[in-house]
Amino acid sequence: MPLTRVDDKGRVVLPKEFRRKLSISAGDEFIIDELEPGVLILKKVDLRSMLADIIEQAKNVDPDQLESEIEEEANKLARRKYEVLD
C-alpha cells in the first residue's frame, strides 16, 4: 500500500500507479466523502457530462405539473405540521 502525505496547502498526491490505473489526469474532478472516522472516499466525476444530462432531463419537465406537485407536497407538509385532518 503506497504512502502519501498532505502538503502545507492541504493537497494529497495520488501515487502514479493509481493515476495510471484509473486514468486520472490534471484537472479531473472528484467528490470526497467521509465513509467513517478516518476513512475518506474519492469518486471521480465528470461535471460537464452530469450537467448536460440534467439539462436534457429538464427539457422534459412540465412546469405546470411541477408547480402542482410542489403545491401538493407543501400542503401535505403544512397539514402534518399543524395536525390538520384531510
Identify the residue whose cell numbers are 500507479: 17
Does residue 34 surpass a pLDDT of 90? yes
Per-residue pLDDT tens digits for 3-19: 999 999 999 999 999 99
pLDDT computed for residue 86 by the predictor: 60
Identify the residue whose cell numbers are 486514468: 23
pLDDT computed for residue 84 by the predictor: 73
State the pTM of this model.
Answer: 0.52
